[in-house]
Amino acid sequence: MLNFDFYNPTQIMFGKGRIADLDKVIPAGAKVLVLYGGGSIKQNGVFDQVMSALGARSITEFSGIEPNPSYETLMQAVESVKKNQIDFLLAVGGGSVIDGTKFVAAASLFDGADSWAILEKGGRNVTQALPFGSVLTLPATGSEMNNGGVVTRKSIKAKMAFSSRHCFPKFSILDPTTTFTLPMRQVGNGAVDAYVHVMEQYMTYPVNSPVQDRFAEGLLKTLIEEGPKALSNPADYDIRANLMWCATMALNGVISTGVPQDWATHMIGHELTALHGIDHAQTLAIVLPSMLRIRKEGKRAKLLQYAERVWDLRDGSEDSRIDQAINMTQDFFEQMGVKTRLGDYQLNADHIPPILAALETHRMVAIGEKRDVTLDVSRQVLELSL
Amino acid sequence: MLNFDFYNPTQIMFGKGRIADLDKVIPAGAKVLVLYGGGSIKQNGVFDQVMSALGARSITEFSGIEPNPSYETLMQAVESVKKNQIDFLLAVGGGSVIDGTKFVAAASLFDGADSWAILEKGGRNVTQALPFGSVLTLPATGSEMNNGGVVTRKSIKAKMAFSSRHCFPKFSILDPTTTFTLPMRQVGNGAVDAYVHVMEQYMTYPVNSPVQDRFAEGLLKTLIEEGPKALSNPADYDIRANLMWCATMALNGVISTGVPQDWATHMIGHELTALHGIDHAQTLAIVLPSMLRIRKEGKRAKLLQYAERVWDLRDGSEDSRIDQAINMTQDFFEQMGVKTRLGDYQLNADHIPPILAALETHRMVAIGEKRDVTLDVSRQVLELSL
């Protein structure tokens, strides 16, 4: 096991009816900015529940945080914070709204002249942030219980990540009933996103970490079992609750303790989103299967463990078990309604060079757990995903 | 899944050489009280590492915190805190030292006339506590990453638990090398303690919580694999690291999210320790197997799952699989050097009525996940453990 630090002070309030408890966790005199996305929370009753729980507090709204939240939009929220003397932020939505709120929390108190520097430094220059909480309505990114976010700057087509010890939500409310009315595309994307998060922390090389491995495998098996059920029984509470808790546990730091991490799939995926607007989870579904095939040798021991423990593959040659496990992974993504080929998104070989150029611009030229995913490896991965 | 709250702000600093990092997490101007037990830390080099890391800080020592820390001893530490204007506590040791330090942290700032009230109210009357951290040297109780403790009042032979949101360690340093020189009795006890902690949160009835179940099963399987290895290879880093992380994860709140909990084995075990001075883990090893046998019907579904997933028992009748799984559990405790019969500790049927009387005094007359463990059930359990 590798040395590690683990710190995660976010309070999780999980279950039916928990939105009413906002009243207990936001200071009574707070001036609250409520941040949300496209307005679905106004149709499904979540917005009304939030407003009712906030009671007499001073409330300002900021709507329109888009999927892959943009720097341009978020800086308008920062202006609202300053203009309205906001002292507490409440994100209501999915990972994009929560990621965006983290950035607003940090940028509102940022010392530098230009808040884009937060993204350029990956958040290492954040020394304080406004307190914020979240009401999660889309289980996927895990943003509700970690300190990281991803922000896109439209003007330069850049999608950049940041994190800071100051950017943990004070609390996150996870009420599975808020997810009953999600479009199926978002349900599928959410399960795939959580799945690939686990894979980025699990599918590397063995370091004798049986607890972390079994936790990761437990999340993967649960996603495989529960994901398809959520598509066919959208209003089943337990299925939604299990998916929601999987997505949170997939990226709250527990399964990454003491193990190497990959994240090459995410780095390539980010460029696909930035350049072509493909959903985040779709990019992961495109890249991961090819990534595993191309890097089979480096990941052999873990791929064999994955084949046996997650997919129950015990017979046949090593290579056939590995190939079968990767195929079953890809089939699972397709089963969740997430297409896994570049061609499915109208991209062809001509689109690969600009993706590689973007990776180079963002210095993603030696990524993965062994820093051996060069631009040439990324090219092979993308070619295999055509 | 049941509704739940999860909150755990303790920072874990895990790995070889981490004691030196105390310097980063204790304020430079702190007046530190270092609390420890019987002095083994002075023989194995841990004390020297701690002192070296604390550097020029003002340090007061408080030694002699005993296994099952006593109220009488801890109140002397509270006096030292007041006399020396201590503002930071550092526990160096195992669960007893850390539990004791939590109590000292709360009692030092307690408003009431008599700090015993903290135990009588289970900590609900704690409104503040001194900040404290820990250097863990004995993986077992999980106290390094939770907010609870157990304190014994010798004068009235009472062993009482308390917890408070204010009693999380600010940090805990887990360096597996500090455990290389532990006596085998403590290694065995530690693994059994962690195992039974998991069982108290897992072995109840199904509530459709596959993530929590798989995490619990992952911890149990790892303890079964790694525990015996630690007895035969005491200086193997990875084995010790895995045991240490199991013990922490067993009781930091992660596996109890959204599931019912039992704790009847612990309640009876506490009386055995209070009345007869039997090691905590030994009491759990005595009580748990009989507890499972007596309550087989109420726990049938989970016992079958346990038999299959933890012990790989798939053949034979349901009852034979359950019986075999309980026997294998008991054998594992014995394999770890922890005796599982009251007779092994020179106790016989005459000792049972006073134990039941103590349970009654402490209002432990309807315990377990369904509150159906009456004094009569406890009597049956103890009789079966003779």
Structural domains in chain A, sorted by start: 11-178 (3.40.50.1970), 184-384 (1.20.1090.10)
- Token pair of B325 as six digits: 């799984």
Cβ contact, residue pair B242, A214, below 8 Å: no
On whether the CB atoms of residues B329 and B338 are closer than 8 A, the answer is no
Q: Each residue of A231-260: pLDDT tens digit?
A: 999 999 999 999 999 999 999 999 999 999
Distances (CA, A) of B229 to B165, B235, B249: 36, 10, 20
Question: What is the model's pLDDT at position A382?
Answer: 98
Chain A partners within 8 Å of B223 (Cβ): none
Digit-by-digit pLDDT tens for chain A (386 residues) are 999 999 999 999 999 999 999 999 999 999 999 999 988 999 999 999 999 999 999 999 999 999 989 999 999 999 999 999 999 999 999 999 999 999 999 999 998 789 999 999 999 999 999 999 999 999 999 999 999 999 999 888 788 899 999 999 999 999 999 999 999 999 999 999 999 999 999 999 999 999 999 999 999 999 999 999 999 999 999 999 999 999 999 999 999 999 999 999 999 999 999 999 999 999 999 999 999 999 999 999 999 999 999 999 999 999 999 999 999 999 999 999 999 999 999 999 999 999 999 999 989 999 999 999 999 999 999 999 99
Tokens 């062809």 belong to A348
Q: Please, which residues have CB within 8 angstroms of residue B336's CB and are 6 or more apart in sequence?
A: B187, B188, B189, B191, B192, B227, B228, B231
SS3 B95: helix
Partners of B226 on chain A (C-beta within 8 Å) are: 210
Q: What residues does B312 pair with on adjacent strands?
A: none
What is the pLDDT at residue B383?
A: 98
H/E run at residue B12: strand B11-14
CA–CA separation, A204 and A200 (whole Å): 8
Angle separating helix axes A352-361 and A264-276, nearest 10 degrees: 110
A100-142 pLDDT, tens digit per residue, is 999 999 999 998 789 999 999 999 999 999 999 999 999 999 9
Distance from CA of B17 to the nearest CA of A (A): 9
Q: How far apart are CA A216 and CA A306, in angstroms?
A: 10
Looking up tokens 């109780």 gives: B141
Which of B2, B5, B6, B256 to mutate against chain A (most A CBs within 10 Å)?
A: B6
Structure tokens at A268: 């390539």
**Phi, psi (deg, nearest 5) at residue A77:** -65, -35
Do residues A250 and A161 touch, judged by C-beta distance below 8 A? no
Task: Give the DSSP H/E element, type plus range, for residue B132.
Answer: strand B132-136
Of A7, A211, A219, the CB nearest to B11: A7
% helix, strand, coil for chain B, step of 5: 55, 10, 35
In the block, tokens 């006399």 appear at B83
Using CB atoms, which residue from A8, A15, A214 is nearest to B218?
Answer: A214
Nearest CA in chain A to B213: A218
Residue among B131, B145, B99 at smallest CA distance from B118: B99
Burial label for B333, CB within 10 Å (0-12, 13-18, 19+), is buried
Measured at the CA of B354, the angle between CA B348 and CA B359, to 5 degrees, comes to: 120
Whose structure tokens read 């289970």?
B122
Q: Which tokens in the block code for residue B268?
A: 């009876």
Residues 6+ apart with CB under 8 A from A117: A110, A125
Instruction: Please state, in angstroms and rounded to a whole number, the distance separating the CA atoms of residues A219 and B215.
Output: 9
The pLDDT score that the predictor gives to residue A156 is 86
The rounded distance, in Å, linking the Cα atoms of A157 and A149 is: 17
Q: What is the dihedral of CA B277, B282, B283, B288, to 10 degrees?
A: 180
Q: How many Å separate Cα B291 from the centre of its chain?
A: 19
Alpha helices in chain A (DSSP H): 22-25, 40-43, 46-54, 71-83, 95-108, 116-120, 184-202, 210-232, 237-250, 264-276, 280-294, 300-309, 318-335, 352-361, 375-384
Q: Indicate yes or no: CB of B226 within 8 angstroms of CB of A210.
A: yes
Amino acid identity at A377: V
Strand order in the sheet with A171-174: A58-62, A31-35, A88-93, A132-136, A171-174, A11-14, B4-6
Q: If interface means Cβ-Cβ distance under 8 Å, which residues of chain B face chain A?
A: 1-18, 208-211, 213-215, 217-219, 221-222, 225-226, 238, 241-242, 245-246, 249, 254, 257-258
Q: How far apart are CA B260 and CA B275, in angstroms?
A: 29
Beta bridge partners of B88: B32
What is the rounded distance in angstroms from the CA atom of residue A122 to the CA atom of residue A124? Answer: 6
Interchain CB distance below 8 Å, B238 and A208: yes
Buried b (16+ CB within 10 A) or exposed e, A318-351: eeebbbebbebbbebbeebbbebbbeebebeeeb
Report the distance separating Cα A21 and Cα A50, nearest Å.
Answer: 9
φ, ψ (nearest 5 deg) of residue A207: -130, 25
Q: What is the pTM of this model?
A: 0.97
Using CA atoms of B17, B19, B23, B24 in order, give the dihedral in degrees to the nearest 10.
Answer: 70
Residue of A nearest to B220 (CA): A211
Q: Which two tokens stand for residue B92?
A: 């160096």
**What amino acid occupies position A265?**
T
Contact A165, A122 (CB under 8 A): no
Q: A39-49 as b/e, with b when 16 or more CB fall inside 10 Å?
A: ebbeebebbeb
Per-residue confidence in pLDDT tens, chain B, 386 aa: 999 999 999 999 999 999 999 999 999 999 999 999 988 999 999 999 999 999 999 999 999 999 989 999 999 999 999 999 999 999 999 999 999 999 999 999 998 789 999 999 999 999 999 999 999 999 999 999 999 999 999 888 788 899 999 999 999 999 999 999 999 999 999 999 999 999 999 999 999 999 999 999 999 999 999 999 999 999 999 999 999 999 999 999 999 999 999 999 999 999 999 999 999 999 999 999 999 999 999 999 999 999 999 999 999 999 999 999 999 999 999 999 999 999 999 999 999 999 999 999 989 999 999 999 999 999 999 999 99
